[in-house]
A and B are shown apart, each in its own frame.
Chain A
Amino acid sequence: DIVMTQSPDSLAVSLGERATINCKSSQSVLYSSKNKNYLAWYQQKPGQPPKLLIYWASIRESGVPDRFSGSGSGTDFTLTISSLQAEDVAVYYCQQYYSSPFSFGGGTKVEIK
């Protein structure tokens, strides 16, 4: 099974500043023949279901603000919020969909400093 490890567990960032969340998979989620990383990012606000932000490691879902970006390949990935807004307070999860069971990271809680 692929284990997804996120860091940090939580971070506090000032409004307008950059937030960076890391996600590491225990084995590569890059499907070489397709040149695709099977990695998604979700945002979960308090009391709400998760919302898809990024898929294929770097493709922003329709309607997601462009301050959210995903990068990385193989086993190491990053979600960046370029300029943190108050409405971005949430827990963020990465998920691999390379192989079953389709596992999630433990989550990173983002707060305002």
Chain B
Amino acid sequence: EVQLLESGGGLVQPGGSLRLSCAASEFTFSSYPMSWVRQAPGQGLEWVSTVTGTGDSTYYADSVKGRFTISRDNSKNTLYLQLNSLRAEDTAVYYCAKDTVTLDFYFDLWGRGTLVTVSS
């Protein structure tokens, strides 16, 4: 079954760091750009970051630029998001999402998400 499975979320103090992972299965992972989209509790969706299939190009929302780093390991079919200098407003469910092969920035497959809670 084509799927995405996130992991790595948890409780972290303000200023702390966390690394999220997303394991992809049953599709040619390296062919597709991949993204992270987050959803604060009870709120709407916010695009966070996208990486191309090769990993050569990355894109970030201003709210996370300089603090978060997206990367991928195509040999492991895994997407990552390194979260540094975390703030309370970063508290959210983080979804891994598959983009189209042509990097259109809409998302046709989503994981179930991993919850990041930033609190002291």
Contact = CB atoms under 8 A, between A and B. Distances in A.
Given A50-B95, A100-B59, A101-B61, A107 B106 contact: no
Contacts of B108: 52, 55, 61
Interface in B92-116: 95, 104-113
Interface stretch (B24-32, B41-49, B71-79, B83-91): B41-49
A93 B95 CA distance: 15
A21 to B, nearest CB: 14
Contacts of A42: 45, 107
B106 A95 contact: yes
B78 to A, nearest CB: 18
Interface residues of B, number: 19
A79 interface: no
Contact of B44 (A49, A51, A93): A93
B106 A104 contact: no
A74 B110 CA distance: 27
A62 to B, nearest CB: 9
A73 B72 CA distance: 35
Nearest to A40: B106
Interface of B: 37, 44-47, 59, 61-62, 95, 104-113
- Enumerate the 4 nearest inter-chain pairs by beta-carbon distance, A residue then B residue, closest first: A49-B110, A97-B105, A40-B106, A104-B45
